[in-house]
Each structure stands twice: as C-alpha cells, then as structure tokens.
Amino acid sequence: MKQNAVKKHSRLYPCFTSALFTTLLLAAFFVSPSIAGVPMPEVPKAIKGESCVEDTAFMRRNHMEVLLHQRDKTMREGVRTKKHSLTGCLNCHAVKDVDGSFVTIKSEKHFCNSCHTYAAVKIDCFTCHTSVPQQTVGLRNQ
Amino acid sequence: MSKSEENTTDIQRRKVLVAGAAAAGVTLVPGVMMIEVAQAKPDAESASRSVRWGMLIDSNKCKSGCDDCVSACGKENGWAKDKTPMSQKPQWMRKVNLKHKATGKEASLPMMCQHCEKPPCVDVCPTGASFKRTDGIVLVDKHTCIGCRYCMMACPYKARSFVHEVIEDHDSYMPRGMGTVESCTMCVHRVDKGELPACVESCKEKAILFGDLNDPNSDIAKRLKEYPSRQIRADLRLNTGVSYEGI
C-alpha cells in the first residue's frame, strides 16, 4: 500500500511541477506583463472594435470553452448567433502582413499563434476552418 | 447591429426573395409552383422540430448531359476546387442516367444524400459524428468524425465522400478538412437564412422543388400529394427526404 502511494506520487510529481511552472509563467504574464527577464508573447491588437465580446481576462482563460459551446450549438442545433462565432473572432483579430494581405495560421504573426506557440498548445481549428477573415462568401455573392 | 435593424434587413431580404421567386416561378396548377420560398430561421433559434426539409426532383424535366446543379453544389460548398485526383475527389452530388431495360426509356437525375428519416449512416457511426438535425437534415459533425468511413459503407446511395488531402482554401461558412467524411448538407447554411440550396437555385428547368414536407400547405407537400413520386430504394424503408418524379 505504501509502495503504491510512493509510486503514484512520483508519477504525479513532474506533472504537478510543470503545471505549477506554467501557472507561474502565466501569472507573471497576466499580472505584471513588464516583469523583467521573461520573454512575453506579443499579442497583436484587434483591427476593429474597442473591446472583445467578453472581458479580455475572461477570454484569455476561457476562449476555448466559449468556442466549444458555440461550435456544438451551431453544428448540432443550428443556432447561428454571431457573438461567439469563430468567424467573428477572425474578423477582428486579423493580422496584416507587410504586403497588406491577411496572414494565415501558417504565419508566426497570426493572432492565435502569438500565444499558442508561446504556450506550446496545438490548435487544429484551421485544418477545416479558414484562418483569415472572408470578404466574399460563396456562390451567392459572385 | 441593433435588433430592430436586424429585423428590418431580414424583412427586406425576404421581400426581395419573394418577388424573385414569384417572377421566376413556373405555375403548374393553380397554387402549385416549382419554386418555393423557405422561411428564414432567426439566428438565435434552434432548428425546428416541426419542420422536415425535403426535395422533390422531377426527372422528366432533368436534362441528360446538364450538370448545372452539380457544378453549383461544387462551387458553393468548395469541393469542386479540390486538387485531389478524380478517383479520390469528394463528390457531394452527381448525375445518374437510367435506362429501362425492356422499354428503353431513359431518365436523368441528380443523386446525393437522400436525408433519410432513419439514416443508416447515423446508425453505424461509432462516435456520433454522423447525425440528423431536428429538421431532418443529415450531417457530419467533423469535430467528432474520426474518418473511419463506416457511414460511407452503410449508405445505400453512395452519397458520402472522404477528404483524402489537405485543404487550404477554406470557406468560412463551409468548413472542410482532411480525414473527415462529408456529404450534401442540403446547403444548411443557406436554408437557415431562408435561402434555397445551391442546386435548386441553379436549375434552369426548375426540376428541383425544396420545402417543408411536414407543412401540408407547402408547395412540395401539395405536389407530393397530387402527383405520383418515388423514393429510391424505398424497400429499405429509410423514408428519404428526397423523392423523384418520372422514374
């Protein structure tokens, strides 16, 4: 019984350490972005609008939950409200390249990449979804 | 946009749609038109349980050699621009030519997902990705699709395709990606806005009628009541949402 407990502990320990480390890093980033010596992600400013659809601090922590909820609502039930849609995110959080075109997810400059590369969290939204704002939509607008 | 503004645009767009449909519609018998105006669903509302979307295809009007509906589908939903070799290229819709062996009578018709009431693709899906929306539209939730292709095997209509290669040129309203199965969505993104599916809109012969099968006053329900029509492989008792006339 005691052996088991030790084993369990040793298995959990590195996980806990890394979680603690990440939390500390994030805390340092969100609480005092000016902390010296720690490289910070450069988050590009949204191209339009003064504020996000939700509080910035809330979005930083919960954007994935918001998107997941909207995703299921839209896909399964056909609810098509714009407020929490991925298209909505991309329309504001678009980054232009030096040549004036919008950067795709392949670019380091992409809004999502600016944090996700830093946090080493892989996103696969854009294997199916577009990663740039869309001007023309479909057959009906041609 | 405020709510009242949103409503105004909606009404205006509806008016334009109604006017367009009235001008383009072909009157068959009084009160029955081959073009129907679908009702726009408010964005915040779920798909209705009381509606069942369906199509009625008149193969007498459908011309052999014409593939306007197929190309419109490919353009609208983006599968036509895939660079995958033809043998593996997704195809949501195709034209089928039939010939009666004894009489030699030929017929041409478009074939796609039949939006069954009891879809075999939904039965076999191990992840629940293949599902039927409450308004009868059968869809693939690509978020949960693992690309096993059981549904493709189960479909008696060969309606589903697998995306073999990476897609880069996405449309925001029709997400598609490698490793998932896809098929006709009855242009759900258009239907939810009160527009007609791309194939219906593109048909010059007005051979495809789209509407609510559950509404006895809809043109499609009236026409189904008045004229004989067939479901393909009706023996399987899947009660398809798509019916055909003239075969």
In Å, what is the CA distance from A43 to each residue of A29, A63, A131, B58, B224? 12, 15, 16, 56, 58
pLDDT band at A49 (very low <50, low <70, confident <90, very high): confident
Please count the structural domains in chain B. 1
Of the residues A81, A127, A130, the best mutation for testing chain B's interface (the one with the most B CB atoms within 10 Å of its CB) is A127
Q: For residue A84, what pLDDT band results from cuts at 50, 70 and 90?
A: very high
Of A75, A128, A138, the CB nearest to B173: A138
Q: Do B167 and A128 touch (CB under 8 A)?
A: yes
Q: Are A40 and A47 in contact (CB under 8 A)?
A: no
ipTM exceeding cut-off 0.85 for this assembly: no
CB distance A139–B175 less than 8 Å?
no
pLDDT in tens, A92-112: 999 999 998 899 999 999 999
Residue B123 CA, chain-centre distance (Å), reads 20
Closest residue in B to A130 (Cα–Cα) = B170
pTM of the model: 0.78
Tell the residue number behind the tokens 């052999």, with chain if given.
B64
Q: By the CB < 8 Å criterion, does B13 face chain A? A: no
Residue A101: partners with Cβ closer than 8 Å, 6 or more residues away? none
B44-99 confidence digits (pLDDT tens)? 889 999 999 999 999 999 999 999 999 999 999 999 999 999 999 999 999 999 99
The number of beta carbons lying within 10 Å of the beta carbon of residue B199 is 26
Measured CB to CB, residues of chain A less than 8 Å from chain B are 71-72, 75-82, 87, 90, 126-131, 134, 137-140
- Give the span between the Cα atoms of B111 and B232, in whole angstroms: 10
Report, in angstroms and rounded to the nearest whole number, the Rg of chain A calculated over CA atoms. Answer: 19
Interchain contact, A76 vs B166, CB within 8 Å: no
In 3D, which of A108, A112, A114 has the Cα closest to residue A131?
Answer: A112
Q: Please, which residues 152-211 of chain B have a Cβ atom closer than 8 Å to chain A?
A: 166-167, 170-180, 188, 190, 192, 195, 198
Q: Return d(Cα A103, Cα B172) in angstroms, integer.
A: 15
List % helix, strand, coil for chain B (3-state, nearest 5). Answer: 30, 20, 55
CATH number of the CATH domain containing B216: 3.30.70.20
Residue B87 burial by Cβ neighbours in a 10 Å radius (0-12, 13-18, 19+)? exposed
Closest chain A residue to B185 measured between Cα atoms? A75
**Is it the case that residue A42 has pLDDT exceeding 90?**
no
In chain A, domain spans: 1-35
**Distance (Å, whole) CA A102 – CA A137:** 16
Residue-by-residue DSSP string for A91-123: HHS--B-TTSSBP-TTSTTSHHHHHHHHHT---
Its domain, for residue B233, covers: 3-245
Q: Which of B72, B80, B87, B64 minimizes the C-alpha distance to B247?
A: B64
Q: Which residues pair with B140 in a beta bridge?
A: B130
When scoring A69, A75, A123 by the number of chain B Cβ atoms within 10 A, the one with the most, hence best to mutate, is A75
- Smallest Cβ–Cβ distance between B47 and the set A78, A82, A127 belongs to A78
CB atoms within 10 A of CB B35: 21
Across the A:B interface, residue pairs with CB atoms under 8 Å apart total: 70
| pLDDT value at residue B39 | 64
CB contact under 8 Å between B167 and A71, yes or no, is no
Kindly state the tokens that stand for B81: 């621009």
| 8 Å CB contact of B167 and A129 | no
Which of A77, A127, A138 is the closest to B171 by Cβ? A138
Segment B21-34 shows an average pLDDT of 46
Q: Is A130 in contact with B171 (Cβ distance < 8 A)?
A: yes
Select from B92, B138, B143, B190 the residue whose CB has the most chain A CBs within 10 Å, as the one to mutate to test that interface.
Answer: B143
CB contact under 8 A, A79 and B143: no
A87–chain B nearest CA distance, Å = 7
pLDDT tens-digit series, residues B164-221: 999 988 888 999 999 999 999 999 999 999 999 999 999 999 999 999 999 999 999 9
pLDDT for residue B106 is more than 50: yes
